[in-house]
């Protein structure tokens, strides 16, 4: 673990207004331990990033975005560039979440372009990979994960890989209350590191943070986070309540 950061990141999805963001930050501040062994990130809706930057400033929580567009600027109505995020003080950006792949046409190709754009701007991409239930039952999980990881990292120079976080998020476990067992999660997270090792070598592979995501909650966080290749969590539902989120942070401590 000393080679890489443990990162607990909340993915708020399309939840909370700017005023609710402020309220959450106040609640968090009251209960978040000062000494933390992990980095804590909250990925908020883009429109609430300025409010979040202000609200979390004195809580030592980094603000992340949930998406980014890969072009630098121009006629792309409704999109947000990596430079715009960086300029607001954003540190992390989720890329390729399964909901974006499912509802917004995100593909391995666009994920790769977004990863390259994020790194170029100095952001840390949180790259989401994961299989559907059908793919797991077909026994093609590992092939799919390898493909997703290799595609996402295509063209990423060795010196920038350590800035990437990879989140293993089995689609069947997201928002379903069904968590992967610690063994299932650990198996794939270890495989993700092996894939990075094959691409970039052992030294870089051990410096990359690999998270698990999918119905992580206070009740299962400690067991998942104690697995040697699970260096943190990407948390949806349970990140919306300050008390639950802090319990997960404490499980990583
Ligand atoms: C997610 O969407 O990244 C996620 C893990 O959601 P949940 O924790 O709600 O399953």
Residue owning the nearest CA to atom 2 of ligand 1: 236
| Cα–Cα distance, 170 to 98 (Å, whole number) | 9
**Token pair of 14 as six digits:** 């399309």
Pair 96, 111: CB distance under 8 Å: yes
Examine the residue annotation and report whether 198 is marked as an active-site residue of this protein. Answer: no
| Cα–Cα distance, 80 to 94 (Å, whole number) | 13
pTM: 0.97
19 is in an annotated binding site: no
215 is in an annotated binding site: yes
Q: Which helix (H) or strand (E) holds 47?
A: none
Q: Rounded to the nearest 10 degrees, how much is the dihedral formed by the CA atoms of 213, 142, 65, 200? A: 120
- List, in order, residues 6 or more apart from 141 with CB less than 8 Å away: 131, 135, 188
Residue owning the nearest CA to atom 1 of ligand 1: 236
What is the distance in A from the centroid of ligand 1 to the CA of 190?
Answer: 20
| Cα–Cα distance, 28 to 51 (Å, whole number) | 15
pLDDT in tens, the chain (253 residues): 578 999 999 999 999 999 999 999 999 999 998 877 899 999 999 999 999 999 999 898 999 999 999 999 999 999 999 999 999 999 999 999 999 999 999 999 999 999 999 999 999 999 999 999 999 999 999 999 999 999 999 999 999 999 999 999 999 999 888 888 999 999 999 999 999 999 999 999 999 999 999 999 999 999 999 999 999 999 999 999 999 999 999 999 7
Architecture of 6-252 per CATH? Alpha-Beta Barrel (3.20)
Task: Tell me the domain boundaries of the chain.
Answer: 6-252
Nearest CA to 90 out of 116, 68, 112 is that of 68
**Token pair of 56 as six digits:** 């979390």
- Which numbered atom of ligand 1 lies nearest the CA of 128? 3
Instruction: Choose the residue to mutate in 7, 220, 236, 238 for probing ligand 1, maximizing ligand atoms within 8 Å of C-beta.
Output: 236
Pair 45, 66: CB distance under 8 Å: yes
Instruction: Choose the residue to mutate in 234, 238, 241, 245 for probing ligand 1, maximizing ligand atoms within 8 Å of C-beta.
Output: 234
């Amino acid at each position: 673990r000393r080679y890489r950061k443990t990162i607990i990141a909340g993915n708020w999805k399309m939840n909370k207004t700017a005023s609710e963001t402020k309220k959450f930050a106040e609640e968090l501040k009251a209960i978040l331990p000062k000494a933390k062994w992990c980095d804590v990130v909250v990925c908020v809706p883009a429109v609430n990033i300025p409010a979040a930057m202000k609200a979390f400033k004195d809580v030592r929580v980094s603000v992340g975005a949930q998406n980014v567009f890969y072009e630098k600027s121009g006629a792309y109505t409704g999109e947000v560039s990596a430079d715009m995020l960086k300029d607001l003080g954003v540190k992390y950006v989720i890329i390729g979440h399964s909901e974006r792949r499912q509802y917004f046409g995100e593909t391995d190709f666009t994920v790769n372009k977004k990863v390259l754009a994020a790194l170029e701007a100095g952001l840390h991409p949180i790259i989401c990979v994961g299989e559907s239930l059908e793919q797991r039952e077909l026994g093609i999980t590992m092939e799919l994960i390898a493909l997703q990881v290799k595609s996402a990292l295509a063209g990423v120079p060795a010196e920038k890989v350590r800035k990437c976080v990879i989140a293993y998020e089995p689609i069947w476990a997201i928002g379903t209350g069904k968590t992967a067992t610690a063994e299932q999660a650990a198996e794939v997270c270890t495989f993700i590191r092996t894939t990075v090792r094959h691409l970039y070598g052992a030294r870089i592979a051990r410096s990359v943070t690999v998270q698990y995501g999918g119905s992580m909650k206070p009740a299962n966080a400690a067991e998942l986070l104690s697995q040697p290749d699970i260096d943190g969590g990407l948390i949806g539902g349970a990140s919306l309540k300050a008390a639950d989120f802090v319990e997960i942070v404490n499980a990583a401590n």
